Amino acid sequence: MRKIAINSKGMSRVRAGHPWVFRSDLLSGSVDDGEAVHVVDQSGKPAGTAFYSAGSQIALRFFDRRHVEASPDYFRAKFQKAVALRERLYPGAAAVRLCFGESDGIPALVVDRYGPVVVIQTLAPGPEMLKDDIVSWCMDLTDVGAVVERNDPKVRSLERLPLITGTLRGDVPPELAITEGGCRLGVDVLCGQKTGAFLDQRDNRDLAASRARGRVLDAFCYRGWFSLRAAVRAERVTAVDAADEAVAAVKEGALVLGLHNVDAVCANAFDYLRECDLRGERFDMTILDPPAFAKNKAALGAARRGYKEINLRAIRLAEPGGTVFTFSCSYHMSEDDFLETVASAASDAGRRVSVERRLSQSLDHPILLGFPESAYLKGLMLRVE
Ligand SMILES: C[S@@+](CC[C@H](N)C(=O)[O-])C[C@H]1O[C@@H](n2cnc3c(N)ncnc32)[C@H](O)[C@@H]1O
C-alpha cells in the first residue's frame, strides 16, 4: 500500500483519537481518490491506515491506528462486528442502524435496516469504491431481500461524488413498514428524509411513548413516529410538520393503526406553537424535534434564537406537571449551550422547570470518544411545574 505523510498538527489530532486529518496537514505522498493508504509522521513512523479523499478538505479518514492490509475482507469483518453489536443492543429489531461510519470503523459508511430492506450511504470515495462489496455483505450477513442507495446527501458533492438514489439489489416492497414498540410504522426508503426515517430517536420514542398521557403535541413530527407511538396511551395527539408528504404519512399511519385520536396538521411549527399559546391551549406532553438549526458555526446565533423561541412556547403551553421533550441535532450546538438556551426559555416563560433526563442518540449510533462529530443529537426531558 502507498504511503502519505502528515505533519505534527495532524499527528496530534490522530493521537487524540480523531479519525480525520485535514488537507492542510498533509506533507507528501501521491495517492488516488478513495485509496486506502498507510499514514506516517514526519519521521516516517507509522500513524495508521486511512482512506484518502482527493476533493474534500477532510483528506484522510482513519480506520486503523496500525498499518493494516485494507482488503475488502478486512472491512467485511468490521461490518460483521457492527451487525453483531446491533443484534446484542436491539435483538430482533426490524429497524436499526447497522453501521455508523467512523464509530464502527468504516469511515463515511451508513447502513440502515428497515425490515427486508437495507439502505446504504457511501459518503466519501473510500467506501464508494467498496460499494459492490458492501451490497454483498448486506445480502450475506443479514436476511434482507433488497439494498437501496440513498447517496443524495449534499456532503457527497464536497467529495466530488454524484448525488444518486436507487435500488442496487432486489425489490423494495410497495408498502414497506417496520414495527417499533409494537406499532406498525410506514417507511419510504427511496424518497423519505434521511434514509427513510430517524432511527437516532428510537430510544427517545420508547421513553416518550411510555410517558404519554392526556394531550400531546408533536411539533416537527415528520411521519409521526413519536405521535403514533404516543397515541396508543394518550387521549389526543396533535402532530405538526411543514412537509405535506410527512403529514399525509401521519394520517395514513393513524388509519392503519386504527388510532382515531391523532390530528395531523401541515403548518410551520413556529407559527403553530405561537397560535396555540395565543389561544391559551395546554398540553401534558410536547415533543420538539426540529431539523438542525445550526448547520455551521456561523449560524449558531440564529439557531439559539430559534431553539429559544420554540422551547419558550412549549414550556408556556405545558400543563402544570407536564413534560417537554426537546432536542437539537445540530452538532455545532453543544450540550451546555443547548441547556443554557432552554434555561433562558424557561426563565422567560416564568415557569419552574427541571431536567428529568438528559437524552442522546440511540445506542445503534455509537459515540466515538475523540470524535465529537459522532455525538450530534442532544435532548432533554423536562418537567414543567
Ligand atoms: C428531525 S425531523 C423529525 C423526526 C421525527 N421526530 C421522527 O422521530 O421521525 C424534523 C422535521 O421537521 C420538519 N420541519 C422543518 N422545518 C419545519 C417548520 N418550520 N415547521 C414544521 N416542521 C418543520 C421537517 O419536515 C422534518 O420532518
Q: Separation of 291 CA from ligand 1 center, angstroms?
A: 6
pLDDT at 29 over 80: no
Asked whether 39 lines ligand 1 (CB < 6 A), one says no
Domain-ending residue, one of 64, 93, 112:
64
Please name the amino acid found at residue 373: E
pLDDT at 238 over 80: yes
221 and 361 in a single domain? The answer is yes
Q: Separation of 292 CA from ligand 1 center, angstroms?
A: 9
The active-site residue out of 99, 138, 276, 329 is 329
- Residue 294: the pLDDT is 87
246 and 356 in a single domain? The answer is yes
- Residue 120: the pLDDT is 98
Span 187-212, pLDDT tens digits: 999 999 999 999 999 999 999 999 99
As given in the structure block, the three cell numbers for residue 66 are 496500525
Mean of pLDDT values over 125-149? 98
Please confirm, yes or no, whether 191 is among the known catalytic residues. Answer: no
140 and 259 in a single domain? The answer is no
- The predicted model scores a pTM of 0.96
Give how far Cα 9 sits from Cα of 41, 45, 235, 275, 336, Å.
Answer: 10, 15, 57, 52, 28
- Residue 28: the pLDDT is 83
Q: Pairing state of beta strands 183-186 and 177-180?
A: antiparallel
* Closest C-alpha among 97, 139, 137, 100 to residue 116: 139
Mean of pLDDT values over 253-267? 98
- Residue 30: the pLDDT is 83
162 and 294 in a single domain? The answer is no
Instruction: Report d(CA 18, CA 25) in Å as an integer.
Output: 14
Nearest CA to ligand 1 atom 26: 222
57: domain CATH number? 2.30.130.10
Domain range enclosing 118: 72-169
* Residue 54 in domain: yes
